[in-house]
Structure 1
Amino acid sequence: MISRLLLATSATALLAAAPLPTKGEPAITAQTQRSGGVLTAEQTALTFDSADLAFEVLPETESLNGVATLVFTAKAPISRLPIDLDRNLPVSAIAIDGVPLAPTAWSNPEGRLTITLPKPVAAGGKVTAKITYGGTPHVAVKAPWDDGMVWSKTPDGRTWFATTAEGYGCDLFWPCLDFPTGEPALVTLHITVPKGLKAPSNGVLLGVDTLADGRTIWNWRAKHPNTYGIALNVGPYEEISGTYKSRYGNSIPMHYWYLPGEKAQAETLFAEFAPTLDFFESMIGPYPFGDEKLGVVETPHKGMEHQTINAYGNEYAKAPEGFDWLFQHEFAHEWFGNQLTAANWDDYWLHEGYGTYMQPLYGQWREGRARYAAMMQGERTSIMNLKPITQQRITTEEEVYELDKGGAGQDIYYKGSWMLHTLRALIGDKAFFDVTRLAVYGRADPKPGNFKPRFGSTKEYEALVRKVTGKDYGWFFDVYLRQAALPELVETRTGTMLTLAWRVPGNGAFPLPVEVQVDGRTRTVPMTGGKASLSVPAGAHVVIDPDSLVLRRSIALEDVAAWKAAQAAKGKPQ
């Protein structure tokens, strides 16, 4: 394994002489910043079989060196390999199927490393590329809201390092296929770190090798990791571990790596692992990576759903709901993001909407409906309705998460969550969770060993709702996913007659039933054709949707948002 990490002495000397990069440096190209989007024929011609990734982390120079051995199967004839890799990590050598290439056989002007193969590969053929590279990787400005390396120090001055890559992509630190369906089937990692530091990462620990100078190589193996789910974490970690006895009969290793001096707080967080896992297994289905681990590592950034090694940086915050929302949210992504991965960034509400909905659902599981209602109302105030959740095209990550790029931003979290809340009330708990299991596992009877990570889409999800319920709910998704404005329920009361009518963008059909409470008695109004009239006694007290089951326009919340904006414009506290 040591031979994988031989460094070019001249390159190391140059790095040692250079100043350390500041946040946002070195600059990255538009190509590297981009993740996903429309793919070329060369990209879609590749199946990513495996990646063997050897890294050496060099904290003193804040640099990284690596050797990546990538195996692909050609789905169509290929003569070139298009590999995404930040040009700040220049390539020093490439071998194809064990034969070294001349430097003229590859180029990387903008962040897509293009390798001309010595000879074409026919459909069904395999090709192995060994890429040696290294340099100064991009430093994140404010991880995880932007991406890159996070170089930090522990309170006692030791190295504390992490990577984040969801937005800009895996090419920030390893050669990859930077789009959602570019997942490798198997990844093996060898992470060399200075003496006294540890490197928890994805999957199963194969072993730790100690070198003559005290450095250690941490060897891990993970199956079907999400493209941005590969993570490097380096620090003087201490560890808590245990085993969860699953209701499905298997035993799941649990590990938490935390900073020295935090044992009591770490133990409190670790105590949440088993009950949270029990919640997900009881409500959704088997933990998807039970044969690897439930892993969490403390990081110098807020958090991220790195598969089986979720990043945690919530500083052990306390909350009225009695559990750590950040740990729970990132853990939710093991099901919604890592097991079920949206094939197109445009469908990432499947990750974030479900991931967000799992917090109030867990609140209900722990404490009942009052906690669920309180948490849902907390989410409701964050819905913006500026852009539709989906754009119905192939998008990049930025075009989904960033408002100025046309994305829905935080609405894929909170509006997605509220849409699921409304859907659950509409089709009922059994149908809702049947749909969820089919979306996550691809089957209704998931058990450890009978499923593997899969790709999903909005189109498939709608089809699953139709399959499970026997009804077409296209009108529902047309409004909540494909329109920005919320449906408005118009109430008119004349004498003893109450008339309700849905007003939706485009004036299409919207027959969403509504509960109406009259003098304390609640009934469900069908709203056939989007309208309904009912007789109510004169002077009766009427409450529409008393349990807030429906996501609809709220003039009160719009007024609050306008007032806050006006206060902010005046420079006044809100």
Structure 2
Amino acid sequence: MNKTLISTLVLVITLCVNANAQGLLQEKNKFTHQDTLRGSITPEREWWNLTYYHLDIKVNPETKTIAGKNTIQYTVLKPNQVLQIDLQEPLVLTKVTQNDKALEIKHDGNAHFITLKDQQNIGETNSVIAYYEGKPREAIRAPWDGGISWKKDNNGNHFIASSCQGLGASVWWPNKDHMYDEVDSMDISVTVPKGLMNVSNGRLKSVIDNKDETITTNWHVANPINNYGVNINIGNYANFSEVYKGEKGDLDMNYFVLKENLEKAKEHFKDAPKMMKAFEHWFGPYPFYEDSFKLVEVPYLGMEHQSSVTYGNKYMNGYLGDDLSGTGWGLKFDFIIIHESGHEWFANNITNIDIADMWIHESFTSYSENLFLDYYYGKEAAAEYVIGKRKNVRNDRPLIGQYNVNNEGSGDMYYKGENMLHTLRQLVNDDEKWRQILRTLNSKFYHQTVTTQQIEDYLAEASGLDLKGFFNQYLRSIKIPVLEYKVEGKKLNYKWTNTVDGFVMPIQIEINGQSQWILPTSKNQTLKLKSKNSKVVVDRDFYITVKEF
């Protein structure tokens, strides 16, 4: 969890409202009271700090129901007697207790306000137990429109999984459903019919035979975990494993797949240790050695659940067999194994406080695909791949969303975001320095929740560059810089257009095959050339548009 005082975080989020906010005022009317309760650090959330969860549930596949309880342990930060717990309809919060006393619940849509009877004294560690039951929302198009996927495998066995990014973990279990406060540790106990097994986050501590045609699997998560990273995966699984010799020692890597796919998986999942080697090189040690690393087969495409990465790419390279870049390089690896595992560093280790800043998760993780290729196939292959994905950018709206209402920015946070970072690498102009910037980013913000401003400030300081205009351009506007130039005799005229105020970015060009840096501004500038009719080529690694005038 982020160790910064929660009251400070409230102020930080308020200060993070930026130039993008003005453009988003048009959208403001579409946000509801429920959006505010879900997306803001309410007074009923602010006063207590999560320390531990024990989620203990029974899943009934035949009726598509869940019933159970969540023990919520917390430390008191300031006086208050009302606590907010989130649980989405149609699930029902049936009872909440503290010290065996039933508590009054005021239901407000998906937010539930619990009035505590015992005095809440600053510094004390207390707990409540939230009981719930019902049919959770069924996923319509997981993982994008999430909930619980109730499927069956080819042999007729139940095949069930959760996915809830954006929608919120409260779609299937009661919790403090805001990204800013990660629980320190967690136990997950899931009871399912015999013949099936549940795989969740962390390490398997025990499997209990309940002697009533059910079993209970008990998992323990030793590290802080974000709510949407918690998952259940239920199926007729086979398991195999290996030990990876990593930067922090031996790392257990476990794989849970449908029994029918066991041999196929043993071959195809060789991308997993390759991923680990490349990403530890670029980003530093895997952040969750204590909890192991798992790949778990599920009936949807996949998701970055912490230490329990889910996989449904049908044992194909690329994205379901396609190359998102159109260059061929995307078929050199399984997109889901590489991309979703990259989120262990960006989303699970470093987590955005507000979902408006989800570019931090997706831009860096999309860029991780580029770095995987760089590690195994070289810098040019990686550049071709990331540049190839520019064709997918829509520039429909900025990458940063509206704060405090659970609103994401544009889906361009993937392709545009990774090209922004690829451009930043060119500006750093030192590959080893860039690698150390990324590694230090993960150590500086280890197991923390962060704001955009914190990431911007760090990258500026670590690179030694003035990046204020750079980030305003790429994160907070839909403008792609245009470099306009013209060769006239022995002169090169050039300038930036389509830029935000304060945009400053040098760029590398070639003049008759010779590399040179120039620093365009919004005013026309002139560079003397050695000869007439010189050939000018702009470095394509910079995410800009080039126009001759």
Tell me the TM-score range normalised by the shorter chain: 0.7 to 0.9
Amino acid at match of 1:535: K
Show CA shifts across 1:406-448 (max 9, x none).
x31x2111111011001111013344333323332217xxxxx
Q: Kindly tell me: are residues 489 and 47 of structure 1, through their superposed partners in 2, closer, same or farther at Cα, counting changes over 3 Å?
A: same
List aligned pairs for 1:145-544, cutoff 5 A: 145-222=144-221, 223-246=223-246, 248-319=247-318, 320-321=328-329, 322-391=332-401, 394-397=403-406, 399-400=407-408, 407-408=409-410, 410-428=411-429, 429-442=431-444, 452-506=446-500, 508-527=501-520, 532-536=525-529, 537-544=531-538
- Report the Cα offset of residue 146 of structure 1: 1.0
Show CA shifts across 1:339-379 (max 9, x none).
00111212211110000001111111111133212211221
SS of the counterpart of 1:352?
helix
Distance of 2:514 and 2:504 partners within structure 1: 22
Distance of 2:546 and 2:202 partners within structure 1: 45
SS of the counterpart of 1:106?
strand
Q: Kindly tell me: are residues 208 and 478 of structure 1, through their superposed partners in 2, closer, same or farther at Cα, counting changes over 3 Å?
A: same
8 Å contact 2:282–2:371 — kept in the other structure?
no
- Report the Cα offset of residue 35 of structure 1: 8.4
Show CA shifts across 1:211-267 (max 9, x none).
112411110011211110000100001112110011x25100001111122123201
8 Å contact 2:339–2:366 — kept in the other structure?
yes
* Range with greater deviation from structure 2 (471-480 or 33-42): 33-42
8 Å contact 1:501–1:530 — kept in the other structure?
yes
8 Å contact 1:35–1:167 — kept in the other structure?
no
Q: Kindly tell me: are residues 221 and 31 of structure 1, through their superposed partners in 2, closer, same or farther at Cα, counting changes over 3 Å?
A: farther
Q: Kindly tell me: are residues 354 and 128 of structure 1, through their superposed partners in 2, closer, same or farther at Cα, counting changes over 3 Å?
A: same
- Report the Cα offset of residue 36 of structure 1: 5.0
Distance of 2:79 and 2:87 partners within structure 1: 23
SS of the counterpart of 1:261?
helix
- Report the Cα offset of residue 140 of structure 1: 1.1
Amino acid at match of 1:70: I
Match of 2:78 among 76, 96, 103: 76
Aligned residues: 504
Superposition TM-score, scaled by structure 2 size: 0.87
Distance of 2:199 and 2:547 partners within structure 1: 49
- Report the Cα offset of residue 271 of structure 1: 1.2
Match of 1:66 among 61, 65, 68: 68
8 Å contact 1:253–1:294 — kept in the other structure?
yes
8 Å contact 2:87–2:93 — kept in the other structure?
no
Q: Kindly tell me: are residues 344 and 122 of structure 1, through their superposed partners in 2, closer, same or farther at Cα, counting changes over 3 Å?
A: same
SS of the counterpart of 1:199?
strand
SS of the counterpart of 2:510?
strand
Amino acid at match of 2:245: K
Show CA shifts across 1:6-35 (max 9, x none).
xxxxxxxxxxxxxxxxxxxxxxx9777888
8 Å contact 1:288–1:335 — kept in the other structure?
yes
Distance of 2:546 and 2:393 partners within structure 1: 11
Amino acid at match of 1:394: Y
2:46 paired residue number: 44
8 Å contact 1:36–1:180 — kept in the other structure?
no
Distance of 1:205 and 1:470 partners within structure 2: 45
SS of the counterpart of 2:85?
strand
Superposition TM-score, scaled by structure 1 size: 0.84
8 Å contact 2:482–2:547 — kept in the other structure?
no
1:87 aligns to 2:89 (yes or no): yes
8 Å contact 1:194–1:216 — kept in the other structure?
yes
Distance of 2:390 and 2:45 partners within structure 1: 40
Distance of 1:396 and 1:240 partners within structure 2: 42
* Range with greater deviation from structure 2 (475-484 or 287-296): 475-484
Distance of 1:360 and 1:470 partners within structure 2: 24
Q: CA RMSD in A?
A: 2.1
Distance of 2:491 and 2:190 partners within structure 1: 72
2:126 paired residue number: 127
Identity fraction in percent: 29
8 Å contact 2:510–2:538 — kept in the other structure?
yes
8 Å contact 2:36–2:404 — kept in the other structure?
no
8 Å contact 1:70–1:129 — kept in the other structure?
yes
Distance of 1:35 and 1:437 partners within structure 2: 35
2:25 paired residue number: none
8 Å contact 1:347–1:457 — kept in the other structure?
yes
8 Å contact 1:36–1:344 — kept in the other structure?
no
1:553 aligns to 2:545 (yes or no): yes
Amino acid at match of 1:521: Q
Q: Which runs of 5+ in 1 are unaligned?
A: 1-28, 401-406, 444-451, 557-574
RCO comparison, higher one (Cα < 8 Å, 6+): 2
Distance of 2:37 and 2:515 partners within structure 1: 49
8 Å contact 1:36–1:345 — kept in the other structure?
no
Distance of 2:240 and 2:496 partners within structure 1: 54
2:13 paired residue number: none
Q: Which runs of 5+ in 2 are unaligned?
A: 1-30, 319-327
Amino acid at match of 2:240: I
8 Å contact 2:350–2:449 — kept in the other structure?
yes
Show CA shifts across 1:510-544 (max 9, x none).
33222222232222223377754223322332212
- Report the Cα offset of residue 182 of structure 1: 2.8
Distance of 1:86 and 1:457 partners within structure 2: 26
Distance of 1:219 and 1:277 partners within structure 2: 26
SS of the counterpart of 1:119?
coil
Amino acid at match of 2:378: G
Amino acid at match of 2:89: R
8 Å contact 1:353–1:416 — kept in the other structure?
yes
Amino acid at match of 1:513: P
